[in-house]
Chains A and B, each alone.
Chain A
């Protein structure tokens, strides 16, 4: 496939390390993505999203003044968010369970552990393209379905009382 199909995609890279930003930009350019915006932290990224339309975000986790978790939460929940469904891939060296869970609960779509490999980056982008996740909205969460697989034939017990009758597919 020529690079032209990827040419329509607009990507925002949010990363405080300029070398990582440059590397990610090069990898995205190598598959034909020409429109790549860069921000050094979450605050700058939100400013870009107010001005530009983006189809995908690659974001670091630890940044100042706003980190990738708060940035993702803002994208998902702020009334000013232009696209609360925007896919966010978190590219991070912080793979401790608490950090991963916090990012997941903020509404991150996919994770990539640093060091980034082309295989891991392209696999996650491919996953978002081919198998987009359903979104879930409830009192305490809005974001991609945190369950990896929907089991249509699930016959086991529901984890929480009232789960099944409360579930409303719109």
Chain B
């Protein structure tokens, strides 16, 4: 007979006692904790934005090298938004999703689509998201373009 052993939480070591765990979980939901965390992010934001700019330069230099473009875009989608560069993160996310979709289809990403995204990422990062509405519009347009290109690729397969 094959056996499945289920080990309940009480039967293996926990981080803290149940009563402390409940108190700590409540503290994690408190507005004071959220405020302290927001302050921590705020204190890091300038450093993070400088890092985003470094990644953007590397991304621009990577044009033509699709795996490297994906790698850099992936890093940007990871923390550009946390750095306060929402549109940059959103467009980087759109580019990564385009890469993922094309990989699933077994197709090579279109260089023009990639280049448009890279250009938009660079512009929004350097504009520091000041032109928020404009950046959102660009992100939406690029998402539409990606949807169109994916449909085109699927139809051609």
Contact = CB atoms under 8 A, between A and B. Distances in A.
Interface stretch (B11-19, B115-123, B132-140, B146-154): B11-19
A126 B29 contact: yes
B9 A137 contact: no
Contacts of B43: 26
B155 interface: no
A134 B5 contact: no
Nearest to B48: A19
A102 B63 CA distance: 30
B15 A56 contact: yes
Contact of B27 (A5, A27, A123): A5
A133 B11 CA distance: 11
A162 B1 CA distance: 9
A93 B93 CA distance: 9
B33 interface: yes
B15 A135 contact: no
A170 B7 contact: yes
Contacts of A117: 82
A29 B37 CA distance: 9
A136 B4 contact: yes
Contact of A19 (B11, B21, B47): B47
A169 B7 CA distance: 7
Interface string A121-142: 0110111111011111111000
Given A19-B47, A119-B34, A168-B3, A93 B78 contact: yes
A55 B48 contact: no
A26 B22 CA distance: 23
Contact of B5 (A27, A30, A31, A137): A137
A169 B77 CA distance: 42
A116 interface: yes
Contact of B15 (A9, A93, A162): A9
A166 B4 contact: yes
A55 B20 CA distance: 14
B24 interface: yes
Contacts of B80: 115
A128 B15 contact: yes
> Shortest 5 CB-CB distances between A and B: which pairs?
A118-B37, A1-B27, A126-B25, A132-B9, A115-B81
Interface of A: 1, 5-6, 8-9, 17, 19-20, 22-23, 26-27, 29-31, 55-56, 62, 83, 85, 87, 93-94, 96, 114-119, 122-123, 125-130, 132-139, 145, 162, 165-170
Interface of B: 1-9, 11-16, 20-30, 33-34, 36-41, 43-44, 47-48, 51, 74-75, 77-82, 89, 93, 96, 100
28 contacts: A1-B27, A5-B27, A17-B75, A17-B79, A19-B48, A19-B51, A19-B79, A23-B44, A23-B48, A23-B79, A27-B40, A30-B39, A31-B28, A31-B36, A85-B13, A93-B78, A93-B93, A116-B79, A116-B82, A118-B37, A129-B15, A132-B14, A134-B9, A136-B5, A168-B4, A168-B6, A169-B6, A170-B5
